[in-house]
Amino acid sequence: MEYIVKGDIAYNKSLNEFESIHNGYLHVKDGKIVKAMKSLPKELKKKKLIDYTGKLILPGMADLHLHASQFAYKGTLMDVTLLEWLDKYTFPREAAFKDEKHAKKAYKVFVDCLKKSFTTKAVIFATIHLEGTYILCELLEKAGIDAYVGIVDMDRNCPDYISQTVEGARKDNIELIKRLKDFKHVKPCITPRFTVSCTDPMMKMLGEVRKEYGVASQSHLDENEEEIAFVKELCPDAKSYTDTYDRVGLLDHSVMAHCIYVTDEEMKTLKEKDVYLVHCPESNTNVTTGGIMPVRKYLDYGMHVGIGSDVAGGSTLNLFANLKLAIQLSKVINHGGRNNYKPLNAKEALYIGTLGGASYFGKAGSFMEGYDADILVIDDVKGDPSSMKFGIEDRLERLMYNANESFLVAKYIDGRKVYERK
């Protein structure tokens, strides 16, 4: 499959390298980007041209952290504390995914909405249930959305009805890994909920399975101070919260959500271990005991930072809304100019939302040669009328601040159109 996409192209080559082409051409072949160009060379003029003149053409975005099973109640129950929210609402509702009929119904709505969102790559928590998780994987695979999906493992500090045995969890994780062997879009991911809810034997077992099958891994890290104190109590032998994952092989090239209160020593380890840190600004401001990730500090240190909707701590799949809040919170850190903290700008935010996070999937999140042809076609002009005409950079910034899903005209993942606005 080979075609050309025409429109106003913008993408990052790295954190500090941003490219834009007005009325440009994007050459796609066999699901990969060949090249983004200012004009069409003669030999390509006979190829199929998909004309989106006037629309913004951006790389697909990566949502590095979200709980698919919580999607149904996002934006509700936000005025309780994290623990009350988990015990009273989330645990019982995750438990309901034992019922496959329920899982099918709920995950179908989730995947339908994810298709219409700006997300092309996602790293997802399901629930403790093998069959429910597999149903989610099948729906994502069918939708053509590239994703890492994990059974959520937990065996302490949670109600019995949503707790596993170590042996049961081992069996289920291995079974899921095997079932996903021939999936093109969906890959398994070892997913301890977080250290608080996994005993040492559970963590050890998960590290072993990960090593044996060479799969990805994700969890939560350093989200709030209470949690960190509790982890210290639960794991007196660990050097740090980060170490509770590292010592069992669950840190190396993993995806870690939140990472707000990271010590200098943890930073060093996280960088060495090539960890992807996920900024979840919506969630961190919705959950009352959160905080603000010092994104600039991590970027300056050369770490991987991506964005996460963290539905349902976050209330929306809209990653632009998350990036906007990321920019705003980077300014809140600096209120009154007190902290000499350089706020994020829109181009840096685009990087975090695309290449910064999507590179966990390999060559993804950019329009450089050989990258996955994940393409967003966005109507930022009719969607958000103005009496002024802007260049691409201003349009991108405006989009960052005001985009909602109704702006999305079409979405391609790995070169295949997965959504088109009617």
Residues found near its own copies in the complex (CB under 8 A)? 71-79, 105-106, 108-110, 112-113, 224-225, 282, 285-292, 315-316, 324-325, 327-329, 331-332, 334-337, 343, 345-346, 384-388, 390, 394, 397-402, 404, 406
Tokens 């709505």 appear where? 109
Minimal distance, residue 340 CB to its own copies, in Å: 12
Nearer to its own copies, 154 or 346 (CB): 346
Nearest to its own copies of 51, 225 (CB atom): 225
What's the min distance (Å) between Cβ of 23 and its own copies?
21
The residue assigned the tokens 């996070």 is: 357
Residues 6+ apart with CB under 8 A from 373: 28, 31, 32, 33, 412, 413, 414, 415
Taking the C-alpha atoms of residue 91 and residue 85, their distance in angstroms, rounded to an integer, is 9
Helix, strand, coil distribution of the chain in percent, nearest 5 = 40, 25, 35
**Shortest separation between residue 412's beta carbon and its own copies, angstroms:** 23
Contact in structure between 149 and 136 (CB atoms under 8 Å): yes
Torsion of CA 366, 253, 305, 145, to 10 degrees: 50
Q: How far is the CB of 256 from its own copies (least distance, A)?
A: 20
What gap in Å lies between CA 327 and CA 78, rounded to an integer?
Answer: 22
Nearer to its own copies, 168 or 291 (CB): 291
Give whichever of 58 and 190 is closer to its own copies, judged by the CB atom: 58
Q: How far apart are CA 78 and CA 81, in angstroms?
A: 8
Of 262 and 399, nearer to its own copies (C-beta) is: 399
- For residue 197, the Cα-to-chain-centroid distance in whole angstroms is 22
Q: How far apart are CA 249 and CA 254, in angstroms?
A: 10
User: Using CA atoms, how far apart are residues 177 and 171, in angstroms rounded to an integer?
Assistant: 10
Q: How far is the CB of 71 from its own copies (least distance, A)?
A: 8
Q: Of 250 and 349, which has the nearer Cβ to its own copies?
A: 349
* Closest CA relative to residue 217, chosen from 193, 201, 238: 193
How many other C-beta atoms are found inside a 10 Å radius of the C-beta of residue 337?
Answer: 7
Q: Which two tokens stand for residue 328?
A: 């705003």
Q: How far is the CB of 148 from its own copies (least distance, A)?
A: 23
**Residue (173 or 316) nearer to its own copies, CB:** 316
CA dist., res. 264 & res. 352, Å (int): 22
For residue 290, the minimal CB distance to its own copies (Å) is 6
For the CB of residue 376, give the shortest distance to its own copies in the complex, in Å. Answer: 17
**162 vs 325, beta carbon nearer its own copies:** 325
